[in-house]
Amino acid sequence: MKIFIDSADLEEIKKYLKMGLCQGVTTNPTICLKCGVKGGIEGVKKRTIEIADLIYPYPVSAEVTSDKVEEIIKQAREYSKWADNVAIKVTITDREGKSLLPAIYQLTKEGISINVTAMTTFNQAILAARALKSARDETRRKPRYSFISIFGGRISEEQGVERAFKVIKSVREWLDLHKFEGIEIIVGSVRSPENVEYWARTGAHILTIPPHVLLKCFLGARTKETVLQFLTDAQKAMKELEEK
């Protein structure tokens, strides 16, 4: 299982790269704003390119800002030119619930890496996977990445963590059963260390985790106390060894 950092903060990303805990990055305009990015689309472009260079060959996801098929295709074509390791985030439906698979299918056929996002059901995920696989099978220019993002946190809020676990696990089993190679599940909307622990056991290929949640994953009820005891005992032992 891989970990993607849900951030546009270069220093945060560098920190987790140095730990070996970053195999990709996910962003959106809201994340960019929170991380101090300015300058509209040009600012987002600049930051996305900086992240792409920093983490290469790992992927960075950039999000389109429209739910109209023609505009999605136009934006995605432009964004995909920013770097070879950019994947374009496209929601599974528009704001009225109409499928955006026509855009997803067309862009994937063009060899553009797509991250189908905002999914909360098994049916949405397998239909997105089917569209991605059909497009990948029909093109000679296979995209570098094809992701389906299931929002575990949002499912949990409405239907409980057990339901979220079942949806994610069932999608992974379905992909494996039908040999849908080259398509990876991202679990997004991760809210807590408990989410990480729970969904890491679903078989999802990737968890995308905000830095503040990842930081909490290092904490344990008695870890600091144990480390202090280790150091105190070691120093005491060394002192006694020197006296002998």
Catalytic residue ranges: 89
- What are the tokens at 57? 């060959």
What are the φ and ψ backbone dihedral angles of 151, each rounded to 5 degrees? -90, 85
Alpha helices in 80-210 (DSSP H): 101-109, 122-138, 152-159, 161-177, 193-199
Residue 135 has which token pair? Answer: 């497009």
Residues 6+ apart with CB under 8 A from 135: 104, 105, 106, 108, 109
Give the number of other Cβ atoms within 10 Å of residue 118's Cβ: 18
Q: How many residues make up the chain in this entry?
A: 244
Q: State which amino acid sits at residue 143.
A: P
Report yes or no: 127 and 119 within 8 Å, Cβ to Cβ: no
